[in-house]
Chains A and B, each alone.
Chain A
Amino acid sequence: AQKITQTQPGMFVQEKEAVTLDCTYDTSDPSYGLFWYKQPSSGEMIFLIYQGSYDQQNATEGRYSLNFQKARKSANLVISASQLGDSAMYFCAMREVPNRDDKIIFGKGTRLHILP
């Protein structure tokens, strides 16, 4: 079963608009971490934001915020005031902590295109 689901393969958004990238996850572990990474065309994976399962508040990092809805197992990334440089692939990921397999599982990604 897929543990991380990103239902939007691609999105087109006008510059300066806000963007929401969807992510749902599946785990039976009460302790886990959720991440979002950005991958520009250069290939490097850039860490954006982290949310722990026990965190009381939604994580924010500058223009990025994570809309964490634990009961729905949803961890959407919100980018406010989008910029042309935001065009990239975005990956949602999860680490189950503690777990036997210490690895981060990634979704298939969403390709975001920001239009001028």
Chain B
Amino acid sequence: KAGVTQTPRYLIKTRGQQVTLSCSPISGHRSVSWYQQTPGQGLQFLFEYFSETQRNKGNFPGRFSGRQFSNSRSEMNVSTLELGDSALYLCASSSGSRTGGYGYTFGSGTRLTVV
């Protein structure tokens, strides 16, 4: 069973540019969540998509957006990049059941560096 695939693994962008990150969840998983990880703030929840709908959103500015496709693959977009957006972006997939007690399966992450 293939795991969670995130592409690309590494990315270098310039301030002001925009970036799109991709996440393919485990087959059969309908929920995809995105996290930003920085040394100072730790792991912060960005948003969750379930069946192509954003079900939950963290406390990030509107420059951060996402979407999910019918095959459950998800993309995350950051516009007008700032230096502070440099981080490891982790994607996690789950069945999406709210009554289940199981956690996420994470991808290897995309390390974004903004220069």
Stretch at the interface among A11-19, A21-29, A76-84, A103-111: A103-111
Question: Which of A44, A52, A98 interacts with B98 by CB under 8 Å?
Answer: A98
- Shortest B84–chain A CB gap in Å is 18
- The chain A residue with its CB closest to the CB of B46 is A103
Tell yes or no: A97 within 8 A of B by CB: yes
Contact with A along B91-103 (1 / 0, CB 8 A): 0100010111111
- Interface band, chain A: 20 to 34
* A/B interface sample: 21 pairs, CB < 8 A: A33-B102, A33-B103, A37-B103, A42-B108, A43-B88, A45-B90, A45-B106, A47-B104, A50-B101, A91-B43, A93-B103, A95-B101, A97-B98, A97-B100, A99-B98, A102-B96, A103-B33, A103-B48, A104-B92, A105-B45, A106-B35
For the A-B complex, the count of residue pairs with Cβ-Cβ distances under 8 Å equals: 64
State in angstroms the CA–CA spacing of A49 and B43 once bound together.
18
User: Is A109's CB under 8 angstroms from B42's CB?
Assistant: yes
Tell yes or no: A68 within 8 A of B by CB: no
Tell yes or no: A61 within 8 A of B by CB: no
- Interface band, chain B: 20 to 34
User: Is A102's CB under 8 angstroms from B55's CB?
Assistant: yes
- Shortest A34–chain B CB gap in Å is 9
**Chain A hits for B107, CB < 8 A:** 44
Tell yes or no: A90 within 8 A of B by CB: no
**Chain B hits for A50, CB < 8 A:** 101-103
State in angstroms the CA–CA spacing of A98 and B48 once bound together.
16
